[in-house]
Chains A and B, each alone.
Chain A
C-alpha cells in the first residue's frame, strides 16, 4: 500500500482533492481491511456468538460510515441533502429489519 501512484502534473488549483485526500482514502481503506480481518478472525476463532455478533455488527457500521463519509464525499461541504436522504433510507431500513426480526 506504499507505492500509491501520485501524479506529478497536479494543476494545484483544487483544494478538495489533492494528495491529502488520497492519503485519507488509503487510511480509510486500511481501516476497512483491518476491521474486515478482525471480523473474519473472530468468527474463524470460534468465539462465543453473544460476544462476536455485536462486535462484527459494530465493525460493519463503522466501515459503512467510513465509505459514506470519505469515499462518497459526504464529508465535503454542500452535502446536507444527500446526508438527509441516505440517513432517512438507512433509518427506514433499520426499522424494517428490526420490526421483521422482532415480529414473532
Chain B
C-alpha cells in the first residue's frame, strides 16, 4: 500500500482490520454488496435450469437414461477437484487478509489448476456420452442435462479465466484497497459455482443413478 495517494480513501480503519482490505473503501464495500445481489440473481437462473431438468429428465425418447449414462467414479473425481478448489480459494483470501501476496498467488494458482482439472474431467465425460449416442439433441432429457451442466461448466471456465487475469494484475500491483475487492468477489463467485455443483452432483447425478424419473 505504498501508493496510497492514488488509491481511494479508506472508509474506516477499524473496519479494515476487522473485515480485510476488500471492504477498506466505500467502492470495495459496494462491489461486494453488489456482487451478492448478482449471486441472488444467479440462484434464480440456476433454479430455472434445475426445474427444467427435473421436469424433463424422464423424457428420454428411447435414448440413454440417466441411470444408464452416469457413473459414480468420474463424478466423484470432478466433485473432489471442485470442492478442494473451493478450500484453496478461501485460503487465498486468508493469505490476502494477512497481506501475504506470495501465498495469495500460490493459492489462486492451485485453485485455477483444480478448476482446469474439473473442466478436463467434464470434457472427457461429455465426449464419452457423445460416443454412447447421447448428444444435445438426443432427447428433452439430454437437452436439459447439457444446458444445466454445461452452463455450470461455462461458469467454471469463466472463473478460471477471471482468476488468472487477477493473478497477472496482482503480480504487478500487489494487494491494494483497489485490487482486494476484485479478488474477494472472484472468490465469492468461485464458491458459488461450487455451491451449484453440490446440487448438480446430488440432484442430477446421484438421483439419476438411483433411477428416479
Contact B54 A100 (CB under 8 A): yes
- The answer on a CB contact under 8 Å between B36 and A92 is no
Using known A-B contacts A57-B202, A67-B194, determine if residue A82 contacts B36 with beta carbons closer than 8 Å: yes
CB within 8 A of A100: which of B17, B55, B98, B195? B55
Whether B52 pairs with A100 at a CB distance below 8 angstroms is yes
Contact A33–B80 (Cβ < 8 Å): yes
Tell me the chain B residues, 64-102 only, with Cβ under 8 Å from chain A.
72, 75-76, 79-80, 83-84, 86-87, 89-91, 93-95, 97-100
CB distance from B193 to the nearest CB of A (A): 10
- Determine how close the nearest CB of chain A comes to the CB of B161; give it in whole angstroms: 21
Which among B44, B79, B98 is the interface contact of A7 at CB below 8 angstroms? B98
Q: How far is the CB of B188 from chain A (nearest CB, A)?
A: 6
Interface contact A22-B79, CB-CB below 8 Å = no
**Chain B residues in 8 Å Cβ range of A70:** 90
B residues at A contact (CB < 8 Å):
15, 17-20, 23, 32-33, 36-37, 39-44, 46-48, 50-52, 54-55, 72, 75-76, 79-80, 83-84, 86-87, 89-91, 93-95, 97-100, 103, 188, 191-192, 194-195, 198-199, 201-203, 206-207, 209-212
- Check if A101 sits within 8 Å of B51, measured CB to CB: yes
Q: Are B33 and A82 in contact (CB under 8 A)?
A: yes
| A93 pairs with B206, CB closer than 8 A | no
Distance A15 CA – B209 CA, assembled complex (angstroms): 46
Show the binding face of A for B, using Cβ within 8 Å: 4-5, 7, 9-11, 13-18, 21-22, 25-26, 29, 32-33, 36, 39-40, 43-44, 49, 52-53, 56-57, 59-60, 63-64, 67-68, 70-73, 76-78, 81-82, 85-86, 88-90, 92-94, 96-97, 99-101, 103
Q: Which of B42, B79, B194, B201 contacts A89 (CB 8 A)?
A: B42
| 23 A-B contact pairs sorted by A residue (CB < 8 Å) | A14-B20, A15-B18, A16-B18, A17-B93, A18-B98, A33-B80, A36-B80, A39-B201, A40-B72, A44-B72, A56-B206, A59-B202, A63-B198, A67-B198, A71-B87, A78-B23, A81-B36, A82-B36, A92-B47, A93-B43, A96-B48, A97-B54, A101-B55
CB-based nearest B residue for A48: B210
CB distance from A36 to the nearest CB of B (A): 6
**Chain B residues near A33 (CB-CB < 8 A):** 80, 83
List of B residues within 8 angstroms of A71 by Cβ: 86-87, 89-90, 191, 194
Q: How far is the CA of A49 from the CA of B206 in the complex (A)?
A: 10
Report whether B195 and A67 are in contact in the complex, using a CB–CB cutoff of 8 Å. Answer: yes
